[in-house]
Structure 1
Amino acid sequence: MSGVLPTDKCKAEFAILREKRAYKFITFKIDATGTMTDVCDVCPTSADFKFQDLLDKLPADEPRYLVLDWNVENDDGCQLSKIFFVSWVPDTCKAKTKMLYASSKQALRNALEGVHLDHQATDYDEITPEEFTSRTLGK
């Protein structure tokens, strides 16, 4: 594990997502000095959420971490909700950046108590509504 630790704001914003369901997702990034992970963007929960809103916050050439509150209805009509921790590290990133994010991931993940599932992605094809729905339903 690297020396990159999450800020208190990471924990506080995640608590709002987990307890109040006030956010659909939160993105995090490591600061320019490589010394801390901080909140990058928050997306309030709203009826007009489009999955593209999430993809728009993931740069094609920069890593991010994100937590996503994903809700689906199963075949019996029951609502299911899971919180995902996603590590977004595009293949186009420099090797040094990939290593920094890989070695710093666990510190942030450990700070976010209440995450249900982990997901890693290196390409937009790996971040789809179908992927999160399938994992939420346990398929």
Structure 2
Amino acid sequence: MTHFCYFFDIVLLSSSFKDCANAASGMAVHDDCKLKFLELKAKRTYRFIVYKIEEKQKQVVVEKLGEPAQSYEDFSASLPADECRYAVYDFDFVTEENCQKSRIFFIAWSPDTARVRSKMIYASSKDRFKRELDGIQVELQATDPTEMGLDVINSRAR
């Protein structure tokens, strides 16, 4: 009987640690986040996706989807000037060998003017969220629009 109780205590303890680890690593990820990302990656249904953390629901959700014809300027204009966001952008470019290619960028947008609490939540949730999106090729962290300008994107894609 002692062994069973000891085992039971370990199971309870380990599930508590798991809950604490999930809480520390960030928010839950809504299934739609992964689904839309897969559509962007496999079918090229979207040019970009902007993700937002809903603090009350404690989860990351899709905030905006960019149509395939939308430009990089449309994408950057969809990021709020004073709030944090995660975003994915499918960048098309032509190599020096004249080959058409694309790279999927993950952008952690954390402007200097955002609330400190928001910056902390986004920073602590980023790695866990990014792991949910299989196929990210380049990561950028930006606190200012110049840190994610088209010239930066272009140079990082190659």
Alignment TM class, shorter chain as reference: over 0.9
Instruction: State the identity as a percent.
Output: 38
Aligned residues: 135
1:5 to 28, 32, 48: 28
User: RMSD of the alignment, in Å?
Assistant: 1.2
2:63 to 33, 40, 43: 40
- Looking at structure 2, the residues matched to 122 and 99 of structure 1 have their Cα atoms a distance apart, in angstroms, of 13
Query: Any conservation in 2 of the 1:61–1:92 contact (CA below 8 Å)?
Result: yes
Greater gyration radius? 2
Moved over 4 A (4+): none
TM-score normalised over the length of structure 2: 0.82
Where do 5+ consecutive residues of structure 2 fail to align? 1-23
TM-score normalised over the length of structure 1: 0.92
Query: Any conservation in 1 of the 2:37–2:133 contact (CA below 8 Å)?
Result: yes
2:93 to 67, 72, 83: 72
Higher helix proportion: 2
Give CA deviations for 1:65-123 in whole Å, capped at 9, x if unaligned: 00010010011101121101100000111211110000011121000001111110000
Query: Any conservation in 2 of the 1:65–1:88 contact (CA below 8 Å)?
Result: yes
Query: Any conservation in 2 of the 1:63–1:101 contact (CA below 8 Å)?
Result: yes
Are residues 1:23 and 2:46 paired? Answer: yes
Counterpart in the other structure of 2:150: 129
Higher strand proportion: 1
Distance change in 2, residues 1:62/1:34 (3 Å): farther
